[in-house]
């Protein structure tokens, strides 16, 4: 796969203007200070309409299971939200949806169900998984007496090669759990290749994909991928915090799991539904369709995919600007005092819009403070945190500054970031 996952096609000026108009706090922080928010891997810039719609629906006192008019309206919003989730996941009606408060909760629920109900002797995962899935694999492999096998990443690409995962799969593998985009290196896993290679070794294996980091940047296709579970968190994709969604294949949905009495075998939601969360998600999908600019009457899935493809084109242009620079401004690759990781020209995998940096003359924590003073928000990932230790060390790193802009940023803003970085990279004098 090439370094740039898709052709770099910046938004047309009218699209850029539309996109920028939709986001809250894009140019200034909540206190009015000018800033560049390049920390979208930690929780993304938010679509005004997604939050406004969710708030509007939160004001309803009605429960969506009741028969009166306002309640039926809420039930309708939930149905629409579920249809939109299926469209976004590329899942069909036979699969189930699991709403949870966080993506981590979903991973523990689903990995537990597979570990406890699918016979096997081992679970396969990778060293670059987020703890939400990795720690669930550790816990439930241990509780069910299975071996945990961990594929190591390629330190040149920052990702895990499908063959490194498939090498660990055998007839005893019950589950393969893999991340779609690393939240630290930004490298995209070739999910269809992983699933195909794993199934070639064991046609019965269950597969679970953490798409939390991938979802704001790429097209999920649960049906084409033939994946058994894939999760997302709207707060990483332009929406609110407080809820996450997972799509489950029909066969996974049938596995035994906790549920309230009377619920069908394939019902995974427990307790009262939150129509506001579904309405907020539908507002995000409306936005993607608008960005895609498909003709009226185009199917929802096609409209969503068109929006995401346009976003990918612009984000690859931003990535290109950051790494290669512009006519006036040196890019990260050639900037003295800065190291941009996993951007090797020759041995590269496709990457999302996440750029890990280190500096010759500063620690990452120090660089993050210097960025803030110059009006840029980024974040350091360090090996002293449980959330990054295993991942960083498997990649041969102790720390990085993670730079994660979003498609609503302009190429001029990417250039501004480079100018700031050049200042930070200078040795301090005096
Ligand atoms: C790749 C990835 N997976 C899972 C999660 C967990 O999401 P949540 O905070 O909703 O549990 C995160 C959060 O940072 C993430 O980056």
The C-alpha angle with vertex 86 and arms to 207 and 39, in degrees rounded to 5, equals 75
Confidence of residue 2 (pLDDT cuts 50, 70, 90): very low
Match 């993607």 to its residue by tokens. Answer: 288
C-alpha 228 chain-centroid distance: 17
What is 13-46+303-425's CATH topology?
3.90.1150
State the Cα–Cα distance between residues 403 and 361, nearest whole angstrom. Answer: 18
Helix (H, G, I), strand (E, B) or coil at 402: strand
What CATH class does 52-285 carry? alpha beta
Ligand 1 pocket member 402 (CB < 6 A): no
Q: Where are the domains of the chain?
A: 13-46+303-425, 52-285
Task: Count Cβ neighbours within 10 Å for each residue of 164-194 and write b for 16 or more, e otherwise.
Answer: bbbebbeeebbbbbbbbbbbbbbbbbbbeeb
The predicted structure's pLDDT at residue 1? 43
Closest of 171, 131, 129, 173 to residue 152, by C-alpha: 129
Enumerate residues 6+ apart whose C-beta is below 8 A from 371.
377, 378, 401, 420, 424
Q: Mean per-residue pLDDT for 50-65?
A: 97
The C-alpha angle with vertex 207 and arms to 245 and 395, in degrees rounded to 5, equals 90
Ligand 1 pocket member 233 (CB < 6 A): yes
Strands in 180-223 per DSSP E: 206-210
- What does pTM read for this prediction? 0.96
Quick one: CA dihedral 309, 21, 319, 153, positive or negative? negative
- Rounded to the nearest angstrom, the distance between the alpha carbon of 132 and the centre of ligand 1 is 7
Ligand 1 pocket member 217 (CB < 6 A): no
pLDDT at 287 over 70: yes
Mutate to test the pocket of ligand 1, among 179, 208, 213 (most ligand atoms within 8 A of CB): 213
Ligand 1 atom closest to Cα of 387? 14
Ligand 1 pocket member 102 (CB < 6 A): yes
Match 């719609």 to its residue by tokens. Answer: 53
- pLDDT tens by residue, 142-154: 999 999 999 999 9
pLDDT at 14 over 80: yes
Q: Which DSSP state fits 348?
A: -
- pLDDT tens by residue, 391-403: 999 999 999 999 9
- pLDDT tens by residue, 217-228: 999 999 999 999
Ligand 1 pocket member 209 (CB < 6 A): no
């Amino acid at each position: 796969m090439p370094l740039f996952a898709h052709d770099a096609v910046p938004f047309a000026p009218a699209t850029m203007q539309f996109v920028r108009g939709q986001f809250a706090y894009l140019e200034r922080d909540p206190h009015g200070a000018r800033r560049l928010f390049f920390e979208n891997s930690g929780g993304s810039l938010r679509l005004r309409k997604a939050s406004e719609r969710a708030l509007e629906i939160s004001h309803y006192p009605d429960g969506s299971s009741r028969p009166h008019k306002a309640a039926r309206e809420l039930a309708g919003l939930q149905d629409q939200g579920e249809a939109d989730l299926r469209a976004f996941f590329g899942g069909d009606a036979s699969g189930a949806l699991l709403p949870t408060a966080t993506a981590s909760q979903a991973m523990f629920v689903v990995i537990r169900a597979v570990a406890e109900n699918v016979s096997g002797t081992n679970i396969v995962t990778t060293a670059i998984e987020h703890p939400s899935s990795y720690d669930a694999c550790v816990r439930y492999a241990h509780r069910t007496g299975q071996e945990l096998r961990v594929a190591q990443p390629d330190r040149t690409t920052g990702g895990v090669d499908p063959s490194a995962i498939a090498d660990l799969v055998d007839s005893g593998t019950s589950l393969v759990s893999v991340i779609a985009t690393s939240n630290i290196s930004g490298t995209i896993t070739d999910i269809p290749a992983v699933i195909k290679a794993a199934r070639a070794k064991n046609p019965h294996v269950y597969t679970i994909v953490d798409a939390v980091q991938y979802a704001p940047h790429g097209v999920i296709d649960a049906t084409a991928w033939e994946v058994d579970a894939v999760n997302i968190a709207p707060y990483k994709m332009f929406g609110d915090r407080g809820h996450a969604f997972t799509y489950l294949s029909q066969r996974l949905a049938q596995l035994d799991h906790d549920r309230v009495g009377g619920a069908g075998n394939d019902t995974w939601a427990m307790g009262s539904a939150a129509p506001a969360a579904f309405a907020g998600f539908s507002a995000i999908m409306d936005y993607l369709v608008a960005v895609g600019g498909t003709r009226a009457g185009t199917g929802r899935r096609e409209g969503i995919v068109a929006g995401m493809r346009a976003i990918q084109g612009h984000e690859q242009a931003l990535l290109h600007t950051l790494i290669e620079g512009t006519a006036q401004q040196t890019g990260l690759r050639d900037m003295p005092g800065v190291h941009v990781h996993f951007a090797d020209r020759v041995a590269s995998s496709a990457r999302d819009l996440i750029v890990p940096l280190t500096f010759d003359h500063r620690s990452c924590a120090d660089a993050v403070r210097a960025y803030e003073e110059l009006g840029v928000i980024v974040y350091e990932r360090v090996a002293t945190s449980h959330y990054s230790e295993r991942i960083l060390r498997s990649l041969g790193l102790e720390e990085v500054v993670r730079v994660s802009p979003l498609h609503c940023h302009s190429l001029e803003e990417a250039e501004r970031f480079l100018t700031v970085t050049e200042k930070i990279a200078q040795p301090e004098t005096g």
